[in-house]
């Protein structure tokens, strides 16, 4: 173990901390006189003072000490800033270590650059008060709170040399996702993965309340983290010299424990693991103003944002601000040019060892493309459209198995206890499920549990999504497969990640694009008949479609071969959030591998084999998106053409949902000419959609023929039904579609009424029959269910 | 303390448990021969076997013992079933205690009724395998997992005599919301509230994996719950007689501890509280088939669903099923008619003491309407439209303060550490924030913390929403105010609650309507300029709009007085999920109290004072929804009329979003005549919307004039901007609107180009100026910002 800091080193550490705190205060308040070379005057104060002081000193303190640890041990260490609005602290350190100025040369290491940094902070046209893609060294959006620890673990997986220091705010710690994230340590394999060092920052207060964990007993706090499997190391106090020594000692000790755990595991021992963590208890707004107008500020929620509200307007605030900032002795730490003194510069690591410059935190730099097999080899042979069935996810499982084999250092599959349920179990031939907790003999019987497993299963969509985000943001690849309805659990995480990707894209070249986030929504609404209403919700794609079109892609492959094509494409892509919706049940396969590839490439195309009289201008377009709606639309063609032999039907399938959007809105949008060529300019379009109908209207409403679009989709009608009854309740069944065609094609209207009644009666009868037989989803293709024939004109 | 069960009583308890397990197995498998009066044959087996056995025996065991506790102590006790797919167990007990047959007389207490129960379970047209509104005694939807404990605490608040036994699944325990829910005990006041008895059911396995908490050491498990502030009481084993004794003892002991805690608190002592909880460790699928084909079933994930997959097809499965079910000795517990033997009937409580019939679990029965002051008294006087400003939420805070005073037993306000930030701080004059953890002297200085506080603050939207759901489902009233962007955190909870309300509505009269769930989304997208992109997301209303129109209402009050009117309406309503979007910043007030009431009642109306030449047919309709967009639309009128004096503008404000939907879709929808009268049949409508534009199109697309609707709204463009620049980036600013009018009104097109250029230049200049001044949101109304004048024709 390295020696603890000498008195002189403590003084240097303290100086560095003072310099960083000075910068934080400057970012909040100053637009001029950055180094206080003149007496502070109202004209130096920002017109609008925005930002958050409370969390800063604890973070700058920690970063100062992490720098020491990196230097002493030449560590590959990155930092995740969990507390809300903590950017000032991270920016201060990035500026002090020089990396910020490398990325943003206008903020040079002199008084002019410092002034620009102060001016841009939390100012219109400037940068935010929480971490964002703008901040070098950050992979964690600091806006919403709750995901820091999950991101940290995601970053640590498969990075054996990396240590991720994760600062967790005591406010954030109250959120559900963070509360669940402590479990992550049970999924970290010290033999293969890096380490995460959680630092719970108990500064005692949130926006306007005490934090709960700061107000429980010491014994309870210790018990809580021991219960989570950690060894908590307490660093508590407010006396800087003593605290510097305690923090240095704690970090050394934690590092030694991490090294020991890793050494044992890497030497082949499998012993119980108790990862170290730090509980850092310091006053909120530590070293800031003690009081204002007789009210406590330091160590109070009043220091959360702006401790002195109006220095430009209130002389006493101005005086207090000046005294506070001069107390950090800027003149001692910054030279005549405003650059950090050489003695202090030496306290920061250099090059890529700087926390702000750690390459993992700019994961695109480290991205290695996946070695991807061709999806063709995994496809279902297609003698004729719909002649054979396949479970789309089952074929995908075979593909992912080999993706996993070929990329054993950089691909993981994530799922909430549903990998097998979602029929992806073939992956277990390549790798088990990560499991570091206790094993029983019985687990050997089909449990697929393994310390080196690459399938991540835990019953928390939050945790899985957070891990996956952390994994991809550090340059690796993955896919999260989850029940469609419960994808809404991570709506907000998806939103934040899409926003991150969009802002990262706009940062300029220095942020290298990271692998896409891939979500597979399966166990879909139309096959949740037995689970009932609570499991029926196809609205995640609506949430996704609200994000920037530059970063979002939504695919609804109609069959297994198309799913393979889409999945391979998504796994190759960078910088996107890809959402794929595909069922796990068996469905007909329509397109062979090369047809599927062409169809997916086109995004939407007419299936001539499924239409009627396709060499003529159609009477009606039957369009569809999604596997179940496609099957029903095909059955509607069979119904219609059996009755109206002369009816000219064009059959269009949409696999890439944004093909419907104008090309001005989304890069995948069909040109107006291509759209009109598919959907006509004036013929009725009966569109059978997987989700809520509004999404199709929204994508098409600027198209010429939109007024003739009639969209069928989920209408929030469901219960414990047969699959067919569920389709009927929501009007996506073959009969509803065919009847809609009758109503929309002028020359069928005269004969429609009688046929309509017949079809409704037949439908009624079939609903009753299926219900009586308790028919299963799979029975649809087992001949126990009215089927349709693939047609060729 | 009551004596522990004698040997004879243990035998009776065991019999009751066997009878309930028998019913569970019957629900899974049988469509005939319900009491096994004949040898079991394939014809007796359901065609489709669906359901979940694994969780049942642990729950039936617990319910059997809770019955005993209720009888012994005459308890008011309700049960929350957390484990996934646990309905069979709850239904079995509801059937045994007779209440199920009272609600559903077709399932009478005889062989025919039992057969019908078996047939309907998890069958098409029947009932689901997880708890739902169908299940008497349940307030908790068992589909998604994670919210059981939060619901239980919500039910216990302000119900001092109630005990809520909350069974938590060890799968569910891995979710974020559940992990955070353990904190709830820190917010339960034993002097005022009821008790929650968590029963963590460690049956060891999820769908396909071990559960994490079942595989950590005993010491860690104990530490974890001690850390959360509980005293865990372990009931572990698989030998029924021993387990009956342990469970009876544990429940007696927990009850005694609860009583002691309550007695101390109600006697005025404020001592540290350690609530009891039970850790129940039993084998998954306990008492079910041990093995199948050489693989373990009992005490394995293989018992999660159907332990014997194919009794109709595989003779060995049939034999095993018969042996298993006969082992429960149905002939001993059900009489010749198929009714439960009298000796066992005596083991269930009677009347409302039955868990299935507890009135709190049918909370509408206990609902007492709020005593609501008239909102007029809280309104901002309006000399002329926009002559005065007010913060909408600040006025609402005054109103809620008095609602709270007048309803101190049945109204609570919920918020994630943001009540003050959201400017609702007036409520603290009526009540503090619930706080049971440690208090410091400094808290007296503005902390507003109180053991008997009625403002619930914790930094977890999940926990708050779960508490509020539990509180309203048991008949009480509340409102959750939260940041608009982060409302997405609870998307999925909202979905599930809306589905619950919709299904409850369809249960028939026995489920009495509960108070509405009220959400106030504030700190809105347009005033998140300083927080930047991550805080900008108005999409929650899109999620809400996907739910059944029968239960969802969405309001965007344009000013403070309208917010008061809407809020009073929502607090009076029952059975809905109300979403209100209103900013906290100061905005002009346009309508006085009675005008506001009329406007809100109408849902949408023309504001003649804001239009021009309003006695004529308009050239254009300027419509708006939301406070910020309304202000910009008014400013656009000023711009346009200053330049084009003859232009006839109709100004329409929409406060009730569903007024736009057809009346066939939503009860609040305007008739087509009324819609056309407001929006014309053929004139351009420039619509300035608070959220993503697609929602307006979606609501209006079936309207005659929809083709002429041009909607401005949030386009996912934002950063740290001035409010005005944010509006400009997304095209909802006055200039964008006015320029759109130029483009849409035919007679303005010839002169439009020059004016357009002027306006764009002016806008550019104003954006730059505001940016340079670092202008604040509030400055818009401080004269530092170009304003508009209220107009009268």
pLDDT digits (tens, 9 = 90+) for B540-590: 999 999 999 999 999 999 999 999 999 999 999 999 999 999 999 999 999
Q: How does residue A596 score in pLDDT terms, banded at 50, 70 and 90? A: very high
What's residue A774's pLDDT?
66
Stated pTM of the model = 0.97
Average pLDDT for residues A89-109, to the nearest whole number? Answer: 98
Distance from CA of A177 to the nearest CA of B (A): 4
**In terms of pLDDT, which residue wins out, B774 or A694?**
A694
A437 chain-B contacts, CB cut-off 8 A: 210, 212, 215-216
Q: pLDDT > 70: what percent of chain A?
A: 97
| A778, pLDDT greater than 80 | no
Q: Give the nearest partner residue to A459 out of B175, B221, B435, using CB atoms.
A: B175
Distance from CA of A793 to the nearest CA of B (A): 35
What's residue B782's pLDDT?
46
- Enter the tokens of residue B646: 């003859």
Q: Give the nearest partner residue to B207 out of A212, A417, A775, using CB atoms.
A: A417
ipTM of the complex: 0.97
**Among A747-761, B210-224, B540-554, which stretch is predicted with the lowest mean pLDDT?**
A747-761
Mark yes or no for CB contact A418/B207 under 8 Å.
yes
Q: Give the nearest partner residue to A208 out of B129, B420, B438, using CB atoms.
A: B420
Backbone dihedral region for residue B522 (phi beyond 0: left; psi -120 to 50: alpha; all else: beta):
beta
Comparing alpha-carbon positions, the chain A residue that sits nearest to B703 is: A707
Calculate the alpha carbon distances from A405 to A155, A399, B195 in Å.
21, 10, 52
Interacting residues of B605 by C-beta distance below 8 A, sequence separation 6+: B598, B599, B652, B653, B678
Contact present, B72 and B162 (Cβ < 8 Å)? no
CA dihedral of residues A545, A548, A551, A557 (deg, nearest 10): 20
The C-alpha atoms of residue B212 and residue B200 are separated, in whole angstroms, by 13
| A316, pLDDT greater than 50 | yes
What's residue B2's pLDDT?
58
| A503, pLDDT greater than 70 | yes
Helix, strand, coil percentages for chain B (3-state, nearest 5): 45, 15, 40
Average pLDDT for residues A345-356, to the nearest whole number? Answer: 98
| B784, pLDDT greater than 50 | no
Mark yes or no for CB contact A697/B697 under 8 Å.
yes
Q: Give the nearest partner residue to A124 out of B145, B535, B774, using CB atoms.
A: B774
Strands B604-606 and B649-654, bridge-based pairing: antiparallel
| A784, pLDDT greater than 50 | no
Phi, psi angle pair for B364, to nearest 5°: -60, -30
What's residue B286's pLDDT?
98
CB pairs under 8 A between A and B: 368
A126 chain-B contacts, CB cut-off 8 A: 720
| Sign of the alpha-carbon dihedral angle for B187, B190, B194, B195 | positive
Contact present, B727 and A723 (Cβ < 8 Å)? no
Q: pLDDT > 90: what percent of chain B?
A: 90
Mark yes or no for CB contact B503/A533 under 8 Å.
yes
Q: Give the nearest partner residue to B47 out of A447, A496, A774, using CB atoms.
A: A774
A446 chain-B contacts, CB cut-off 8 A: 295
Mark yes or no for CB contact B542/A543 under 8 Å.
yes
A272 chain-B contacts, CB cut-off 8 A: 217
Distance from CA of A378 to the nearest CA of B (A): 26
Distance from CA of A408 to the nearest CA of B (A): 22
The C-alpha atoms of residue B694 and residue B715 are separated, in whole angstroms, by 10
Query: In the predicted model, what is the mean pLDDT of chain B?
Result: 95
Mark yes or no for CB contact A145/B459 under 8 Å.
yes
| B788, pLDDT greater than 60 | no
**A396-435 per-position pLDDT tens digit:** 999 999 999 999 999 999 999 989 999 999 999 999 999 9
Phi, psi angle pair for A201, to nearest 5°: -95, 100
Contact present, B530 and A46 (Cβ < 8 Å)? no
Contact present, B516 and B576 (Cβ < 8 Å)? yes
Comparing alpha-carbon positions, the chain B residue that sits nearest to A230 is: B220
The C-alpha atoms of residue B564 and residue B392 are separated, in whole angstroms, by 8
Average pLDDT for residues A754-778, to the nearest whole number? Answer: 82
Distance from CA of A243 to the nearest CA of B (A): 23
When scoring B55, B124, B177, B784 by the number of chain A Cβ atoms within 10 A, the one with the most, hence best to mutate, is: B124
When scoring A171, A533, A770 by the number of chain B Cβ atoms within 10 A, the one with the most, hence best to mutate, is: A533
Mark yes or no for CB contact A720/B447 under 8 Å.
no
Mark yes or no for CB contact B124/A725 under 8 Å.
yes
Q: How does residue A628 score in pLDDT terms, banded at 50, 70 and 90? A: very high
| B783, pLDDT greater than 60 | no
Query: In the predicted model, what is the mean pLDDT of chain A?
Result: 95
The C-alpha atoms of residue A123 and residue A137 are separated, in whole angstroms, by 21
Q: Give the nearest partner residue to A220 out of B227, B296, B433, using CB atoms.
A: B227
| A279, pLDDT greater than 80 | yes
Comparing alpha-carbon positions, the chain A residue that sits nearest to B489 is: A492
B272 chain-A contacts, CB cut-off 8 A: 217
Distance from CA of A420 to the nearest CA of B (A): 7
Contact present, A77 and A159 (Cβ < 8 Å)? no
Note the Cα B730 to chain centre separation in Å: 31
- Enter the tokens of residue A311: 């220095």
Mark yes or no for CB contact B539/A462 under 8 Å.
no
What's residue A770's pLDDT?
81
Distance from CA of B274 to the nearest CA of A (A): 11
Calculate the alpha carbon distances from B624 to A457, B209, B610 in Å.
47, 52, 12
- What do you get for the CA distance between the two ends of chain B, in Å? 80
**In 10 A of CB A38, how many CB atoms?**
10
Contact present, B519 and B556 (Cβ < 8 Å)? no
What's residue B96's pLDDT?
98
H/E run at residue A729: helix A723-730
Mark yes or no for CB contact A143/B774 under 8 Å.
no
Q: How does residue A312 score in pLDDT terms, banded at 50, 70 and 90? A: very high
Phi, psi angle pair for B605, to nearest 5°: -155, 160
A174 chain-B contacts, CB cut-off 8 A: 180, 183, 458-460, 463
Give one DSSP letter per residue of B653-684, joined into a string: EESBGGGGS-TTT-TTPPPHHHHHHHH-SSS-
The C-alpha atoms of residue A475 and residue A466 are separated, in whole angstroms, by 14
Contact present, A191 and A265 (Cβ < 8 Å)? yes
Comparing alpha-carbon positions, the chain B residue that sits nearest to A488 is: B492
The C-alpha atoms of residue A311 and residue A317 are separated, in whole angstroms, by 4
What's residue A793's pLDDT?
37
Q: Give the nearest partner residue to A537 out of B122, B128, B495, using CB atoms.
A: B495
Mark yes or no for CB contact B445/A295 under 8 Å.
yes
Buried b (16+ CB within 10 A) or exposed e, A225-236: bbbbbbebbbbe
B433 chain-A contacts, CB cut-off 8 A: 209
What's residue A124's pLDDT?
87
The C-alpha atoms of residue B169 and residue B191 are separated, in whole angstroms, by 29
- Map residue A465 onto helix, strand or coil: helix
A530 chain-B contacts, CB cut-off 8 A: 48, 50, 122, 128-129
A172 chain-B contacts, CB cut-off 8 A: 459
A179 chain-B contacts, CB cut-off 8 A: 176, 179-180, 182-183, 460
- Enter the tokens of residue B244: 């009956």
Calculate the alpha carbon distances from A758 to A122, A131, A266, A422, A735 in Å.
67, 63, 72, 38, 10
Mark yes or no for CB contact A485/B720 under 8 Å.
no
B223 chain-A contacts, CB cut-off 8 A: 223-224, 226-227
Mark yes or no for CB contact B492/A496 under 8 Å.
no
| B635, pLDDT greater than 80 | yes
What's residue B661's pLDDT?
97
| A591, pLDDT greater than 60 | yes
Q: Give the nearest partner residue to A496 out of B145, B224, B534, using CB atoms.
A: B534
Distance from CA of A124 to the nearest CA of B (A): 4
Average pLDDT for residues A348-357, to the nearest whole number? Answer: 98
């Amino acid at each position: 173990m390295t020696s603890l800091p000498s008195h002189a080193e403590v003084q240097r550490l303290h100086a560095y901390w003072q310099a960083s705190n000075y910068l934080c205060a400057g970012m909040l308040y100053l637009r001029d006189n950055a180094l206080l070379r003149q007496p502070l005057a109202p004209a130096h104060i920002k017109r609008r003072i925005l930002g958050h002081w409370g969390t800063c000193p604890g973070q700058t303190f920690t970063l100062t000490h992490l720098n020491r640890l990196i230097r002493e041990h030449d560590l590959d260490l990155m930092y995740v800033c969990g507390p809300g609005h903590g950017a000032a602290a991270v920016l201060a350190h990035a500026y002090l270590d020089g990396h910020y100025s490398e990325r943003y040369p206008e903020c040079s290491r002199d008084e002019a650059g410092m002034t620009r940094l102060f001016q841009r902070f939390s100012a219109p046209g400037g940068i935010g008060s929480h971490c964002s893609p703008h901040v070098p060294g950050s992979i964690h959006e600091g806006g919403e709170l709750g995901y820091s620890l999950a991101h940290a673990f995601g970053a640590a997986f498969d990075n054996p040399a990396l240590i991720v220091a994760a600062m967790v705010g005591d406010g954030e710690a109250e959120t559900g996702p963070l509360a669940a994230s402590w479990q992550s340590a049970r999924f970290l394999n010290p033999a293969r993965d890096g380490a995460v060092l959680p630092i719970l920052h108990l500064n005692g207060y949130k926006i306007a309340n005490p934090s709960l964990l700061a107000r429980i007993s010491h014994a309870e706090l210790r018990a809580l983290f021991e219960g989570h499997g950690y060894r908590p190391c307490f660093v508590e106090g407010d006396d800087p010299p003593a605290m510097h020594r305690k923090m240095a000692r704690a970090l050394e000790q934690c590092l030694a424990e991490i090294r020991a755990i890793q050494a044992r595991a890497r030497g082949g021992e499998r012993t119980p693991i108790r990862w170290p963590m730090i509980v850092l208890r310091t006053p909120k707004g530590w070293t800031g103003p003690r009081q204002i107008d007789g009210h406590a500020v330091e160590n109070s929620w009043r220091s959360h944002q702006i401790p002195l509200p109006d220095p430009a307007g209130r002389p006493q605030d101005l005086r207090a601000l000046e005294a506070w900032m001069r107390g950090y002795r800027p003149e001692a730490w910054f030279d005549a040019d405003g650059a950090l003194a050489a003695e202090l510069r030496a306290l920061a690591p250099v090059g890529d060892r700087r926390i702000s410059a750690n390459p993992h935190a700019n994961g695109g730099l480290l991205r290695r493309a996946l070695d991807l097999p061709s999806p063709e080899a995994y496809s279902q042979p297609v003698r004729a459209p719909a002649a054979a069935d396949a479970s789309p996810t089952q074929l995908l499982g075979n593909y992912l198995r080999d993706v996993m084999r070929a990329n054993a250092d950089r691909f993981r599959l994530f799922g909430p206890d549903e990998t097998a349920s979602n029929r992806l179990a073939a992956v277990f031939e390549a790798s088990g499920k990560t499991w570091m907790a206790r094993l029983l003999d019985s687990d050997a019987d089909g449990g697929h549990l393994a310390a080196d497993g690459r399938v991540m299963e835990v019953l928390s969509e939050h945790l899985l999504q957070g891990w996956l985000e952390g994994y991809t943001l550090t340059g690796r690849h993955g896919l999260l497969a989850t029940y469609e309805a419960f994808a809404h659990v991570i709506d907000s995480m998806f939103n934040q990640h899409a926003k991150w990707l969009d802002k990262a894209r706009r940062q300029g070249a220095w942020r290298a694009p990271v692998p896409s986030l891939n979500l597979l929504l399966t166990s879909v609404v139309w096959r949740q008949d037995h689970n009932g209403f609570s499991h029926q919700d196809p609205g995640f794609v609506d949430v996704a479609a609200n994000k920037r079109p530059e970063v979002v892609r939504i695919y609804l492959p109609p069959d297994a071969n198309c799913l393979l094509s889409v999945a391979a494409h998504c796994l190759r892509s960078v910088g996107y959030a890809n959402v794929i919706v595909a069922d796990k049940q068996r469905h007909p396969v329509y397109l062979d591998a090369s047809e599927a590839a062409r169809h997916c490439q086109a995004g939407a195309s007419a299936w001539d084999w499924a239409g009627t009289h396709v060499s003529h201008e159609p009477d009606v377009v039957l369009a569809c998106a999604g596997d179940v709606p496609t099957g029903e639309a095909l059955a509607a063609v069979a119904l219609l053409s059996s009755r109206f032999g002369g009816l000219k039907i064009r059959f269009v399938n949409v696999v890439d949902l944004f093909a419907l959007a104008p090309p001005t809105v989304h890069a995948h949008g069909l040109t107006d000419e291509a759209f009109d060529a598919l959907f006509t300019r004036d013929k009725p379009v009966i569109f059978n959609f997987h989700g809520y109908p509004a999404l199709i209207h929204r994508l098409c409403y600027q198209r010429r023929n939109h007024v003739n679009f009639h969209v069928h989709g989920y209408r929030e009608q469901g219960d414990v039904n047969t699959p067919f009854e569920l389709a009927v309740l929501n009007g996506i069944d073959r009969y509803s579609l065919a009847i809609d065609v009758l109503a929309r094609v002028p020359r069928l209207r005269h004969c429609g009424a009688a046929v309509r009644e017949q079809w409704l009666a037949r439908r009624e009868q079939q609903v009753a029959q299926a219900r009586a037989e308790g028919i299963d989803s799979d029975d649809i293709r087992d001949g126990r269910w009215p089927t349709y024939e693939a047609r060729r004109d």
